Structure 1
Amino acid sequence: MNASDKEYIDARLDAQDARVDRRLASLEALVMTKFTGVDAQFAAIGIKFAEVDVQFARMDAKLAELRTEMHARFNELIKWLVGTAIAMSALGITIIALLFNFATSKPLAPSPPSVPAVVAPAPVAAPTSAPVAGQRR
């Protein structure tokens, strides 16, 4: 190998290196433009996620309100159930007490047979005058 061959090979390698460098630079520029587009799409997706987060926050607030309302209604229902149970128990005990009171009460002693009252007619006084004609005695 002489010096001219070596220069020829070096020149070809330098040219090849320059072509590869240009291709890599154009590929890098293409990838960077693609990544710029992807970054813009990710930014748009980030905005959409922010909107979804706001909607989830509203939904969470509504669910918290619903939970509070349901808790209040359950407490009210429990109060009514306990009050009704106490009233029913008191009514049942009262009815049972009245039934036992009537069932165990002694019957009234029979009253002595009533004797018919005989009213004696008023005594008639003897006539002081003579009977009138046609009057009976």
Structure 2
Amino acid sequence: MNSITQELLDARLETIETRMDGRIANVEVKIDGKFAEVDAKFAELRTDMHKGFADMTKWIVGTVIGVAAVSVTIMTFVLNNAAPKSAPTQQAPIVVYAQPPVVAPANQPETTSKH
């Protein structure tokens, strides 16, 4: 076996260290790139979720307004047509005729009754 000198060992370790530093830097770049991709995907997902919530809110509000309008229409129809409408009854007018005064005839004798 050959004996390795300190200088040769240091040179080999330095070469390995340089190679490892390059690999670690490469891995860091890849990891940073992946994190950037994940951040972009999360931002896109966040945007899609906000849009989805806004669309869902619009649909819910529209549906509630539609159901309310249909309910009011049905209730109005039912209440207007449920019971037959009776014609308003008017009382017959009260007519008072003035009667001429009763005058006793002058030619007739008075009868007195005796009991």
Normalization by structure 1: what TM-score?
0.52
Partner of 2:40: 58
Cα distance between partner residues in 2 of 1:87 and 1:75: 18
Q: Does 1:31 align with 2:13?
A: yes
Note the aligned Cα RMSD (angstroms): 2.3
Q: List per-residue Cα deviations over 1:9-61 (Å, max 9, x = no partner).
A: xxxxxxxxxx57x2x55334323321211110010111112222222232222
Q: List per-residue Cα deviations over 1:51-107 (Å, max 9, x = no partner).
A: 2222223222211211121111011011111101201210221122123233xx348
Of structures 1 and 2, the one with the larger relative CO (CA 8 A, separation 6+) is 1
Partner of 1:81: 63
Cα distance between partner residues in 2 of 1:38 and 1:60: 32
Cα distance between partner residues in 1 of 2:20 and 2:67: 68
Structure 1, gaps ≥5 residues long: 1-18, 108-137
Cα distance between partner residues in 1 of 2:22 and 2:41: 29
Q: Which runs of 4+ in 1 moved over 2 A?
A: 24-32
Normalization by structure 2: what TM-score?
0.60
State how many pairs are aligned.
85
- Bigger helix fraction: 1
Cα distance between partner residues in 2 of 1:29 and 1:56: 40
Cα distance between partner residues in 2 of 1:55 and 1:40: 23
Cα distance between partner residues in 2 of 1:43 and 1:64: 31
Identity of aligned residues (%): 18
Radius of gyration: which is bigger?
1
